[in-house]
Amino acid sequence: MTTSRPPVAEIGVIGGSGFYSFLTDAEEIRVDTPFGAPSDPVAVGELAGRRVAFLPRHGRDHRFPPHAIPYRANLWALRSLGVRQVVAPSAVGSLVPDRGPGTLAVPDQLVDRTAGRAQTYYERGGAVHVPFADPYCAEGRRVSLAAGRAAGWEPVDGGTLVVVEGPRFSTRAESQWFAAQGWTLVGMTGHPEAVLARELALCYTPLCLVTDLDAGVETGEGVTMADVLAVFRANIGRLRTLVGDVVAALPAERTCACPDVLSGADLPLELP
């Protein structure tokens, strides 16, 4: 592996537009990748004494729906800037009735129910098999749970995030089926972000803010975008503070298994 430019950031945050203001002395960096342009220029600045690169998942004007986000370009751009640990806050629905809006969850498992999304960097030149039994960084999860507890949030430790194609919400039948499998959260952007991070040997940690009870749990008219946005806006300040706490607590040296997932692999392309 080679680095094409000097590192300018050590930690990446992929989130919504409400996170722009949390960086100090931010500068925007345009990054070209073999997979096209990322969602927007990357904002790089200081947070909690660390160099952080922030990338708005949907673009700053929210122009990319979940199924059209340039996931491969986003993760590649962050790695090319020196990022090796990624914190990924997102809004999700709950499949469990007692974990309603405002709940913070740090899942430990992932189920992919998307269709048609490019989800690997290694399409040609030979198969590259990466371990994905545990899709998230164990150290990142530990740090996030500790930071959440310290902030008085009482985060849910573990659970399964099922990722649907979107942009529509689930039917009641789909939602009830997901819950019957024992899955606890439903979202639209957690895949392929996590697997692409793993293919680049990055640490990836999700911070899931529950904004609604999913259709199979909700007894009213179901999930609406207005409800989701209202809960997210009400909690964005608290979530932004938590991301800063997590960034501050992430280890400077990675001792988890994530850096070694590509050891021995014959990679068909050169990583940044």
Q: Which residues are catalytic?
A: 212, 214
DSSP 52: E
Exposure on the CB side of residue 19, measured as CA atoms within 13 A = 30
Contact 231, 94 (CB under 8 A): no
Measure the CA dihedral 75/78/79/81, to 10°: 160
**Beta-carbon count within 10 A of 16 CB:** 18
Distance CA 142, CA 99 (A): 20
Distance CA 78, CA 52 (A): 10
Contact 242, 88 (CB under 8 A): no
Q: CA distances (Å), 17 to each of 5, 21, 66, 89, 266, in order?
A: 27, 9, 15, 11, 38
